[in-house]
Structure 1
Amino acid sequence: MERKIIFSTNIEAYLKELVDILYEKKYFGFEEDTRIYVQEIVEFILHYDFKVNVRKTDKNFKMFGSNFIKYKANNNTSWYIFFDQRGNQFLINHILNNHSHDFPDLL
């Protein structure tokens, strides 16, 4: 059976909003660079095999998904992608980074 990645409606909206947030906060000098950065997060998820480096979500974060993976975007920022799995279907429920106020709880 072929692997299927599904982004929740909330995640789709968040990723679109993330482009604006990162650009407005001047993390990037050009809006196109911001779009590329967010697209790289999406590409990482779409091409991840979900067989290695998958971690079980702590009980404090179960509302986001039963598992998560880590994407290291650069030396300063890592993204945590929460998902639920049913067979070869992966529902991406939530994404946060190490700059989030929730991050210390993931350690």
Structure 2
Amino acid sequence: MKVVFAPEVEEDLYELIEVLIEKEYLGTYPFAISYVEDLIVDIQQNIHSKLKKKAPVFFERYGKDMYYITYQRNNNTTWYVFFSIVEESYFVRYISNNHASGQYIL
């Protein structure tokens, strides 16, 4: 199955590069770009093998009947990838992390 990112998710990932630099989480643009690219590749390569969980009701604003998986990128940050299975694809509808959405994940 292929992985398709919603246009708004692609925009959020692009903006993440700027946030990582502005908030000084990562020091250089090449490092921030690499971080985001690695996250995308990790999702594309591993979404099918990760344990998926039913998304909490709070996240239905991004779509109905969604699942989510987690990626532990470092000791401080866990990414949550919310998606639907549409025909033969994983349709990624929203991406967040424990800093922004951790309180809504049970």
TM-score (norm 2): 0.90
Would you say how many aligned residue pairs link Structure 1 and Structure 2?
Answer: 104
Determine the C-alpha separation between the residues in 1 that align with 2:12 and 2:47.
Answer: 23
Larger displacement relative to structure 2 (53-62 or 70-79): 53-62
- Write out aligned runs for 1:15-30 (5 A): 15-30=13-28
Matched residue SS, 1:95: strand
Offset of residue 4 of structure 1: 1.4
User: Where does structure 1 lack aligned partners over 5 or more consecutive residues?
Assistant: none
Does residue 73 (structure 1) correspond to residue 73 (structure 2)? The answer is yes
Q: Which has the higher helix share?
A: 2
Offset of residue 106 of structure 1: 0.5
Alignment check: 8 A CA contact 1:68 1:81 kept: yes
Offset of residue 30 of structure 1: 1.2
Superposed CA offset, 1:59-99 (max 9, x none): 22123341001011001100000000023311100000000
Distance 1:60 1:14, change over 3 A: same
Alignment check: 8 A CA contact 1:64 1:83 kept: no
Report the counterpart of residue 37 of structure 2 in structure 1: 39
Offset of residue 103 of structure 1: 1.6
Determine the C-alpha separation between the residues in 1 that align with 2:9 and 2:47.
Answer: 20
User: Where does structure 2 lack aligned partners over 5 or more consecutive residues?
Assistant: none
Report the counterpart of residue 13 of structure 1 in structure 2: 11
Does residue 84 (structure 1) correspond to residue 90 (structure 2)? The answer is no
Matched residue SS, 2:79: strand
Does residue 106 (structure 1) correspond to residue 86 (structure 2)? The answer is no
Determine the C-alpha separation between the residues in 1 that align with 2:61 and 2:73.
Answer: 24
Paired amino acid for 1:90: Y
